[in-house]
Amino acid sequence: MGTTRQVEFRRFPPARRFVTGAIRAGRRMALMHGLVDVDVTAARRLLHDWDPPLSLTAFVGACVAHAAADFPEVHAYRDWRGRLVLNRDVDLAVLVERKTPEGPVPVGHVLRNANHRTVADLSAELRSVQNAPESSISERRFERLAVLARIPGMASLFFRASRRSVRLHQMTGTVAVSSIGAFGAGSGFGIGVPTMLTLTVTVGGMSEQARVVEGQIRVRDILDLTISIDHNIVDGAPAARFGAALRALLESAEILNRS
């Protein structure tokens, strides 16, 4: 005799349609990926010296914001007239998980002017939004737009329009930092899916690895990052310069002295 199979049906969350809409809008991107492993031993020590400890995601985000501000071409985009739009200030788009009746859903939040703010400030805002996602201004804006997601195809149209709209970019951010966490407490690179932003940095796994430091082999904390940039907008040379600047900021941890 066969056994009865249990199947559960759930409503597809309207908020999730914004995620799929963003992914569909990114299909025209020609992404180039840079896999970078960074020594964050000094940074982790300084982060833990704070009470409470500062967020690693906030630290990475601050470094990304400062490097992107120095190389604005890596997060440029084209407007409706085909012109390049370059931002001197960086608004970081991050995802915060929110519980819904249909299950957890990633909610977008924008850290405004991240290149002018300290790691402590960004860390405090991230923790506040993680504890109360409904407090996010960005999230409340998308809540008002959620009615569009109930109309088939509207979420995709919204993000296709957002790609070239200066006003909508101001609302959704100019650079994305996505943290997918450690891969079973080990190393690992994550390849994020394209959305509407030219530059995305994906935080992957962390592990202890041997590195040569001042001529000696030492155990260091190594963080895996993936830098994804739309090759339709950015050439390889500025992308490489941005990657080098980001590595220098992360490994020196000098940005934490400004907090």
Provide the pLDDT for residue 62. Answer: 96
CA proximity to 228, closest of 203, 205, 245: 203
Provide the pLDDT for residue 218. Answer: 94
CATH number at residue 195: 3.30.559.10
Q: 101-110, 115-124, 245-254 — which is least confidently predicted?
A: 101-110
Q: Is residue 248 part of a domain?
A: yes
Tell me the whole-structure pTM to 2 decimals: 0.83
Is pLDDT at 184 greater than 60 in this prediction?
A: no
Is pLDDT at 221 greater than 50 in this prediction?
A: yes
Provide the pLDDT for residue 3. Answer: 73
Instruction: Give tens-digit pLDDT for 42-81.
Output: 999 999 999 889 999 999 999 999 999 999 999 999 888 8
Instruction: Give tens-digit pLDDT for 102-113.
Output: 566 667 789 999
Provide the pLDDT for residue 135. Answer: 63
More confident residue, 156 or 30: 30
Q: Do residues 15 and 102 make contact, with C-beta atoms less than 8 angstroms apart?
A: no
Is pLDDT at 183 greater than 50 in this prediction?
A: no
Q: Is residue 6 part of a domain?
A: no
Q: Is residue 7 part of a domain?
A: no
Q: Do residues 191 and 201 make contact, with C-beta atoms less than 8 angstroms apart?
A: no
| β-pairing verdict for 175-179 and 199-213 | parallel
Tell me what the mean pLDDT of segment 242-255 comes to.
96
Q: How confident is the model at residue 175 (pLDDT cuts 50, 70, 90)?
A: very high
Output the CA angle 98-141-166, nearest 5 degrees.
120
User: What domain count does the chain have?
Assistant: 1
- Contacts of residue 168, Cβ cutoff 8 Å, sequence gap at least 6: 161, 162
Q: Is residue 71 part of a domain?
A: yes
Tokens of 228: 């994804």
Mean pLDDT of the chain: 83
Q: Is residue 8 part of a domain?
A: no
Instruction: Give tens-digit pLDDT for 17-33.
Output: 766 777 777 778 888 99
More confident residue, 242 or 179: 242
Distance from CA of residue 15 to its chain's centroid?
A: 18
Q: Is residue 5 part of a domain?
A: no
Is pLDDT at 137 greater than 90 in this prediction?
A: no
CA proximity to 66, closest of 137, 124, 122: 122
Q: What is the DSSP string of 47-88?
A: HHTSSSPPPHHHHHHHHHHHHHHH-GGGG-EE-TTS-EE--S
Which residue range forms the structural domain that includes residue 250?
Answer: 14-258
Q: Do residues 199 and 176 make contact, with C-beta atoms less than 8 angstroms apart?
A: yes
Is pLDDT at 138 greater than 90 in this prediction?
A: no
Distance from CA of residue 219 to its chain's centroid?
A: 28
CB atoms within 10 A of CB 168: 14
Is pLDDT at 152 greater than 80 in this prediction?
A: no
Instruction: Give tens-digit pLDDT for 157-170.
Output: 677 667 777 777 77
